[in-house]
Amino acid sequence: MRKIETIGILTSGGDAPGMNAAIRAITRAAIANGFRVKGIYRGYDGLIQNEIVEFSTENVSNIIQRGGTILKTARSKEFETVEGRQKAYENMTAAGIDALVVIGGNGSLSGARIFAQEFDVPCIGLPGTIDNDLNGTDLTIGYDTTLNTIMECVDKIRDTATSHERIFFVEVMGRDAGFLAQNSAIAAGAEAAIIPEDSTGADQLEHFVSRGIRKSKNSSIVIVSESPKCGAMYYADRLKKEHPEFDVRVSILGHLQRGGSPSAGDRILASRLGAGAINALMEGQRNVMIGIRNDEIVYVPFTSAVKSNKVVKHELVDVLSTLSI
């Protein structure tokens, strides 16, 4: 196995609060252990376009509190091709990078897995996604901050909903995973959450209505996971048609959920995972995601991490149902 002397870092896919804290941790932990570090701008696309810069501790000073990613991020169609990955490998080799640390979500880590297999490159992944949908880790970088952002927004919407005696459908991110919707609903005291993992086959809107909304409350909040077909607008339009007696409104939170200074939880998580990535490389680990389970750092094979079967616990559904009466 080739000796690792220089480590490359990139962020890929959707940005998440805490990515900068992870970049900082990886860079400083690497330098502290005698490695050189190179930052790769704009994700895999930057690797293909050779946007590679030497990093020192000064490059990552005063960034732990910043949202987004100083390395920028992009989704690369070219990297999905064999030719694109070949070009990325050639640029990586020319830059003297021996191992790659990728911060991103499902698609980003899937790309790292393929790249590692094709070119025998040691790749380490960090779970950077607000959706919290990667397997093998209890939390992902950005999830806690986003959850708090949603909660704060819903708290404000509740003031208007109560004042006007309205039903609000609030759409949040997490197209294929309902963690944000379900847990923000519990945190904000919402009456219901409509999530993609519902496997009962029941009509979630009808279930919400049948539970007797308005019997004891003068307003209601329903959190809905985004969906191109069944998002907040879909359910609001249905309720207006089926129950015209209700005053219904929609609030789509959109990209404000991605922004903002990361929470203490995300800063600590990102710092631990970033340092864990360097420890993993020194231990000879490769092609694994650094996760956290029961407050312990764990190594999760890419093939396990990117399986799309991490689902919301039914216990959380029961808690919301019980507490929203």
Residues 6+ apart with CB under 8 A from 93: none
DSSP 8-state class, residue 15: -
Output the 3-class SS for 159-218: HHHHHHCCEEEEEECCCCCCHHHHHHHHHHCCCEEECCCCCCCCCHHHHHHHCCCCCCCC
The catalytic position among 15, 45, 98, 131 is 131
Q: Residue 191 and residue 322: Cα distance in Å, rounded?
A: 10
Instruction: Report the 10 Å Cβ neighbour count for 94.
Output: 10
DSSP states of 94-137: HTT--EEEEEE-HHHHHHHHHHHHHHT--EEEEEB-TT---TT-
Q: Residue 73 and residue 40: Cα distance in Å, rounded?
A: 10
Q: Residue 143 and residue 154: Cα distance in Å, rounded?
A: 16
Helix (H, G, I), strand (E, B) or coil at 222: strand
Does 155 participate in catalysis according to the annotation? no
Q: Do the Cβ atoms of 127 and 134 come closer than 8 Å?
A: yes
Element (H, E) at 300: strand 296-301
Active site residues: 131
